[in-house]
Amino acid sequence: MAKPSYSNLPFYASLGLKCGLEVHRQLDTAHKLFCDCPVRPYSPEYHAEILRHMRPTLSELGEYDPTALMEFKTHKQIIYRLNRETVCTYEMDDAPPFRLNRDALHRAMVLSVMLDLNQVDELHIARKQYLDGSIPTGFQRTMILGINGLIMCNGRRIGIRQLGLEEEACREVSDRGHTRTYMTDRLSIPLIEVVTEAEARTPAEAADMAGVIRKICHLSGLVRTGLGRVRQDVNVSITGGSRVEIKGVPRIRQIPGLVHFEALRQKALLEVRDLLRDSGVEPGAFSDDLDVTAAARKHAKRLFQKRLSRGNKARAVILRGCAGMLSHPLGPGRTLASEVSDRIRVIACIDDMPNMTCSDDPDGPTALFDEARRKAKAGPADAVVVVAGPVRDVVTAVQEVKNRMLEALEGVPRETRKALSSGVTSFERLLPGPDRMYPDTDLPPIVLSQREFETAEDQAPEKLWDKEAAYLGSGLSQAQVDRLLTTDQFRVYDEAIDRVKLRPSILAYLLVDFRVGLRRAGVEVGALDADLLAALFGDDSCASIKQKDAAKALEQALRDKA
Amino acid sequence: MTQGDKFKGYRGPGLETLKRFNVGVWEDVCVRSAKGEFRGIILPRSETADDRHIVLKLDTGYNVGVAAASCIEITSKGRREANYHIQENEFPTDPAKPDVVLFGTGGTIASRLDYRTGAVIPAFSPGELYGSVPELADICNLTTKKLYGVFSENMGPNEWIGLAKAVAGAIESGVDGIVIGHGTDTMHHTAAILSFMIQEPAVPVVMVGSQRSSDRPSSDAALNLIHATSAACISDIAEVMVCMFGPTSDKYGLLHRGTRVRKMHSSSRSTFRTIGDIPLALISEAEIRPLRTDYLKRRPDRKVKLDAVYDDRVSIVYYYPGMKPDVVDALVDNGYRGIVIAGTGLGHVNKPLYPALKRAVAKGVHVFMTVQTLWGYVQMYVYDTGRDLMDLGVIPAANMTPEVALMKLGWTLAHSDDRDEVGRMMLTPVAHEITEREPPDGYLILQGGLPEVERFLKSYQM
């Protein structure tokens, strides 16, 4: 298959693609956000474990959040691993928050200036519910510092909806059956969440927006860098579809493919909806389910080997008029049946794959389906889904199969999805709404002083797009500018540029491409700073030096130093 | 809507600004300020917050504060009032299930947001409880009775007496078990005094609370309530007990004797510990497992010995090195009738206090010695100081914790002021407030960092 062009504007415009980002980036503080635990490199080591469950609670406006109710249905046991060096009773939710980390606040305020936000005068800490267990309190403490900002991306103004300062969640270690295990060292590290408006029109633009925010973060010098310190949530919708959030994408280069296939998935789901409606399928078509334990033992023993042991049950759900629908393709290697299977895995916690079988499956146990159809007085036009496992999980699974089919009748369900290594996504949870927000009653509002605003304003560097324009104007290529910024070498460049006589593009070459090459070749490059460059290339004669010769001179100097 | 409601919580510049632009709480507005434009619903202002900001709830669910002084224009698009209620469903009744009364005194077993203070306030009706903890209906038929709505530090003699009478009344009316919702801070005080006021109850009397309020997904409230209700229904331990988390993990609860339990951590879920002994029982969703046999059994009669009296002219003196005698003198001069000393070590205070203590005893004040180590007995024969103090008339109170001794002394002084009788009553245990012996595992505080403890923690889930 030819690689699709992710910047084909007319194609994505025909779908009505809209895409926005939520960029989560850790701030480079010494301590966590609400306690004095240090921020350390991640480690799998732990000294103790605790076990918790989560229950949904009402939002401030008196509603339950749908995601919260979904997580409650999963009956998950959450285990937290605790390392004495990185976790205290606060992260364990055995102590209230101490005070807000002022260094983190200051850093986030500087970034608010850089994103041109309308800044909030008084911060209100909110609790954002997360019942997946990723935070032991069951909520993330988060606050909005500013709204309605903007960035420039490829010459377009892109709106920034808001910047939040929040605490990091745990790192998931494993999630099997009804047990999910987390490591807590990352928990409560301060991070900013930058939310853009849904103004990317193509998958490529979404990645470009992420790139701009990344460069702004680097330019600030206030964030942590490296893998595991930044994650992007990507929101995608098409005309007639729904907002779907692809969670926690670690690398920007993954974004275009994920957005593309999500757009196509939504389009395919709309086709499924139309097919279902055209063939007269109504919500009542999914109401029947029946016990098929004996038939499954007889006809699908191999398939359900593990899951038909001791007291477990198998149930069939009859989907009237739906034969052929479950095999409708939704993306590479994905069908509607994959979506149903995801729900069973995530919500009913039946996660030995395959966790279901359906009558659209060419290798499926036909005799089992036939028997289910016979018992249910169903015919060949009706699809059958069979699930097996512990009774309680099967009851949940049957309900989820029905729920997912009801959603298929509506079109595209609002979900958060997880990026798979294959470049497509799978269901993670229902998309939460504003009902998961609740004011934090443990800490009073934080009034920001005029002085704090002024200090942030003073410390904020020039706007990224102004700085980039200056670099480009001095003859650097866009690729050089990007690399200078994202490798943080722009600091050395800025310090050196007035002290060397080199052409700017040669200086940039030395600091990014050539420096990386040297390091890979095993040359110690730690001494490559503005002083060295000034000593080597400060003379007027260097104005005409060729890139190749400058590189040679630099390499020699570094080797001599080592 | 009154003017007060329209501007709920706003004062000073905030109130003036709302009035100036003729907008009030729950109005959906667009605020133009020096910092830019903000759209959202105006929320009531907490009374404890300053008077210079207006709070908006943005569409995203976040709240932000805008400085009143920076507002240039506020325009309203209508009202969108929040309707905060805990889902209320009728509590199902089943004649086959035991009847439990839940008395409310305050605390956060179930709670909701209070816009006046920005803090949480308790919610309590059976319907509300059923809405938030539906599992209760599998355990019992529940009726609730709100006696007080106070934080536990505001419980005092009047509340204790009222509570004891209510509990006795409920026992006599034939319920199968009693649960008392109570703030955790002074739960052990109330548990102790109830142990003296409600003797030999025919059914379990179980106190319960939560360390994390029930408006949090990780709250211990629901599980504590489920455990306490089960204990009240099923357990055959007919004593005054506290039912709270055993470990910090959501694993099981412990039933503690009302006179031996103490809150030992300001915030941990596993804060309640039995001091100087082992708990009565372990309780999980699966079972109630007694850890001892020497408890009073549930009886079919509906009897209870109610003795709800208290003399509040009692105090604790928490001794510290360098304490001056005027502390004791002040109590005596102010008419206090009983003093519990929390002494050092085996029960000691410094010499300068001797004359003051002698004077107190001479004036008829009853002085008892307990230990601030909490664990262990007072033993005043080992050192001269102890013997001197006993000569002055200070009576060693065995292994009552200071708080329990205080509760007992207040209760005792409501019966008698006679020195011998007070001494006799204080030292005659009513509900295990003094035990004959401290078992070897009655004092266990594991020390973190030790290899053997590390092994235990890693294998166990604390």
Q: Is B391 a catalytic residue?
A: no
Structural domain includes residue A160:
yes
Are A395 and A492 in a shared domain? no
Residues of B in contact with A89 (CB under 8 A): 267-268
A470-475 average pLDDT score: 96
Least reliable range by pLDDT among A249-263, A351-365, A428-442 = A428-442
Encoded tokens for B319: 């001794």
Do A105 and A184 sit in the same domain of this protein? yes
**pLDDT computed for residue B120 by the predictor:** 55
Does residue A380 sit at the B interface (CB-CB below 8 Å)?
Answer: no
Q: How confident is the model at residue A1 (pLDDT cuts 50, 70, 90)?
A: very low
Residue B33 amino acid letter:
S
pLDDT at position B116 is 46
B145 is a catalytic site residue: no
Q: Answer yes or no: is A3 within a domain.
A: no
> Do the domain assignments include residue A98?
yes
Decide if A337 touches B, using CB distance below 8 A.
Answer: no
Strand partners, A159: A150
Interface check B72 vs A, CB under 8 A = no
Q: Sign of dihedral through CA atoms A460, A465, A470, A472?
A: positive
pLDDT at A401: 97
Residue A155 burial (10 A CB sphere; 0-12, 13-18, 19+):
exposed
Range of the domain at A154: 9-243+434-439
Domains of chain B by start residue, with CATH: 3-79 (2.30.30.520), 99-306 (3.40.50.1170), 314-427 (3.40.50.40)
Q: Which of residues 257-276 of A touch B (CB under 8 A)?
A: none
Residue A223 belongs to a domain: yes
Contact A432, A65 (CB under 8 A): yes
- Set of chain B residues whose Cβ sits within 8 Å of the Cβ of A68: 217
Contact call for B35 and A120, based on CB within 8 A: yes
**DSSP assignment of B237-256:** B-SEEEEEESSSSSS-EEEE
Nearest chain A residue (CA) to B462: A50
What pLDDT is recorded for position A133?
A: 92
How is residue A22 written in tokens?
């939520």
B263 is catalytic: yes
Euclidean distance between CA atoms A262 and A241, whole angstroms:
10
A426 falls within a domain: no
Structure tokens at A58: 């009402």
**Active-site annotation holds for B184:** yes
Look up the pTM and report it: 0.92
Report pLDDT digits (tens) over B113-131: 555 444 555 566 677 777 7
Same domain, A385 and A474: no
CB contact under 8 A, A62 and B218: no
Distance CA B143, CA B127 (A): 10
A51–B250 C-beta distance less than 8 A: yes
Same-domain check for residues A41 and A108: yes
B150 inside 8 A of chain A by CB: no
| Number of domains chain A is built from | 3
Read off the pLDDT of residues A395-444 as tens digits, 9 standing for 90 and up: 999 999 999 999 999 999 999 999 988 889 999 998 877 677 788 888 99
Are both A386 and A531 inside the same structural domain?
no
Nearest CA-CA distance, residue B284 and chain A, Å? 14
Residue A519 lies in a domain: yes
d(CA A343, CA B72): 50
Do the Cβ atoms of B187 and B155 come closer than 8 Å? Answer: no
Instruction: Clarify whether residues A302 and A375 are in a common domain.
Output: yes
Given the residues B144, B184, B186, B229, the one annotated as active site? B184
Domain membership flag for residue A48: yes
**A303 and A235 belong to one structural domain:** no
Same structural domain for residues A101 and A190?
yes
Give me the half-sphere count of Cα atoms (radius 13 Å) on the Cβ side of residue A345: 19
Buried b (16+ CB within 10 A) or exposed e, A362-395: eebbeebbbbbbeebebeeebbbbbbbbbeebbb
> A124, B219: Cβ pair inside 8 Å?
no
b/e per residue A489-500 (b: at least 16 CB within 10 A)? bbbbbeebbeeb
CB B221 within 8 A of CB B210: yes
Q: Do A94 and B60 touch (CB under 8 A)?
A: no
Q: Are residues A16 and A111 in the same domain?
A: yes
Of A58-62, A338-342, A515-519, the least confident: A58-62
Tens digits of residue pLDDT in A75-104: 789 999 999 999 999 999 999 999 999 999
Same domain, A219 and A280: no
- Number of Cβ within a 10 Å radius of residue B391: 11
Q: Which residues of B touch A436 (CB under 8 A)?
A: 61
Give the pLDDT score at B117. 47
Answer whether residue A452 is part of any domain: no
Query: Is the minimum CB–CB distance between B284 and chain A shorter than 8 Å?
Result: no
Number of residues that this document lists for chain A: 562
Based on the domain organization, do A236 and A179 belong to the same domain? yes
CB count in 10 Å sphere of residue B12: 11
Do the beta carbons of residue B97 and residue B139 sit within 8 Å?
yes
CB-based contacts of A146, cutoff 8 Å, min separation 6: A112, A115, A117, A118, A119, A120, A162, A163
* Per-block mean pLDDT, blocks of 10 residues, chain B (462 long): 79 96 95 95 90 93 94 92 66 91 77 52 67 85 88 93 98 96 95 98 96 87 94 96 97 98 97 98 93 96 97 98 97 98 96 96 98 96 90 96 98 97 97 96 92 89 86
